[in-house]
Amino acid sequence: MPLGAREEVLEPMMDAPNSLAARDIAYSLHPYTNLDAHQTRGPFIITRGQGIHVYDDQDNAYIEGLAGLWCTGLGFSETRLIKAAEQQMQTLPFNHSFAHRAMPPVIDLAEKLVQIAPGELSRPYFVNSGSEAVDTAIKMVWYYHNAIGKPAKKKIISRKRGYHGVTIASGSLTALPFAQDGWDLPIDRIIHTETPCFYRYGQDGETEDEFSTRMAETLDAQIEAEGPDTVAAFIAEPVMGAGGVLVPPTGYFNKIQQVLKKHDVLMIADEVITGFGRTGNMWGCETYGITPDLLTCAKQLSSAYFPIGAVMVTDKLFQAFVEASKQYGIFGTGNTYGGHPVGAAVALETLKIYEDDDILGHVNDVAPRFQERLAKLGDHPLVGEARGVGLLGGLELVASKETREQYPPTAKAALTVADKALSHGLIVRPLPGDAIGICPPLIVSTDDIDDMFSRLERGLNDAFDDLKDTDT
């Protein structure tokens, strides 16, 4: 059903006081939503899912081109995960990990994560979301430096346009206006460094490698200005997701890590989006040569079938925590539902499916077609740059391909493209910087990929017709 026709159906439903749409408007407070517009636009109600598709309340099918929120790697109808949750519910529906308690699925999941972890990570700590994982990583960095006698070493550096969550602390690292404006963020001890987007910020005549050198030199100068004895950690997504799907330029992480090593600054890898096969390796760290001291993960850890996340730390940090517990008595942090047995069982089964079905092999089989179709859209008159890796892609929209000038914010170019794609049965996400995010479930086939990009191209064509007369 075309979007306009869907809105024609929605309008009388919103007038019916007991309809889902009317009740949503009356009772719900939506995250990341224009609350004023929602009063008249109403909700887009999803009722069921099957494979890579979801269905609305009119039973219209849509390709879920962002895997929900970068997370449903196994699609929307994986029966093994449903059975894993049911079995654990029947066995032990809840317990916790406080005060020496432990549960078999949580132990099994911790062991499995250590076995597949990149670098020297050795201890997972379980939480309920990516935001909580990042928030906890911040606490751990502060706790660690207290434990080793460096109480002044507390500042954490994130990157402009980076996304790391929405708690008070993690939202301070999320250097995007929509996550900070009106919320009194960022808090202190947070520093933002430059965005490694070569397309948007590279200088005339500068190579990608030279751009990466400049980014590293900027970081080095910031740490020197702040005082290396006050800077504790640097956090980065291997690929910047919600900031516009920004793929790191040549040599970037190698040069950045040299700066961190020089100043004894910890590396936090935020793998909430890139973890578990999205880039073609199990971890984005493996794709881009990152050696983390801490790693945060969530989303595809359970294919989003149950809320769960984790922070993994090296043995160096863990041993410092052990020593500190002698002073403080306990490791004084925890979440009631952190390490929930049902979540652990579902996550463990998810990891088994990734192995049993060779999801990594599948991703690497279909990713070339995904990247080929993505790159082809770079020729579209509305697209300035098409960029991606594995089964992760982004399109940056421009009013002029020659000058890279963007549409004015009032044009809402990315939202226009997303709405037009929706009218063709494809869900994608508008992102800051007038970008479109594309991130299908990992189980997508090459035929699905062709279908998805054909729908997206039609959406771009429709949006271009609407936007071409916009005054830039």
Tell me if residue 431 falls in helix, strand or coil. strand
pLDDT tens digits along 200-251: 999 999 999 999 999 999 999 999 999 999 999 999 999 999 999 999 999 9
Structure confidence at residue 471 as a pLDDT band (50, 70, 90): low
pLDDT of amino acid 265: 98
* Residues contacting residue 378 through CB under 8 Å, at least 6 positions apart: 385, 386, 395
Whether 254 has a pLDDT exceeding 90, the answer reads yes
What's the predicted TM-score (pTM) here? 0.94
Mean local confidence (pLDDT), 260-268: 98
Write down all domains in the chain, each with its CATH number in brackets: 44-77+359-467 (3.90.1150.10), 80-356 (3.40.640.10)
Tell me if residue 472 falls in helix, strand or coil. coil
**Residue type for 450, please?**
D
The CA–CA distances, whole Å, from 202 to 160, 176, 209, 220 equal 15, 20, 10, 18
Mean local confidence (pLDDT), 372-384: 98
Percent pLDDT > 90 in the chain is: 93
Closest C-alpha to 234, from 134, 150, 158, 121: 158
Mean local confidence (pLDDT), 106-127: 97
Structure confidence at residue 1 as a pLDDT band (50, 70, 90): very low
DSSP string, 44-57: --EEEEETTEEEET
Provide the angle, in degrees to the nearest 10, between the axes of the packed helices 446-467 and 413-423: 130
DSSP string, 174-205: -B-HHHHTTTT---TTEEEE----HHHHPPTT
pLDDT of amino acid 110: 98
* Residues contacting residue 295 through CB under 8 Å, at least 6 positions apart: 117, 118, 121, 268, 269, 270, 271, 283, 285, 311, 312
Task: Characterize 63-75 residue by residue with b for buried, 16 or more Cβ atoms within 10 angstroms of its Cβ, and e for exposed.
Answer: bbbbbbbbbbbbb
Tell me if residue 170 falls in helix, strand or coil. helix
What is the helix, strand, coil percentage profile of the chain, to 5? 45, 15, 40
Mean local confidence (pLDDT), 315-334: 94
Q: Compute the distance between CA of residue 164 and CA of residue 233 in angstroms, rounded to an integer.
A: 14
Question: If you average pLDDT over every residue of the chain, what do you get?
Answer: 95
Mean local confidence (pLDDT), 269-284: 98
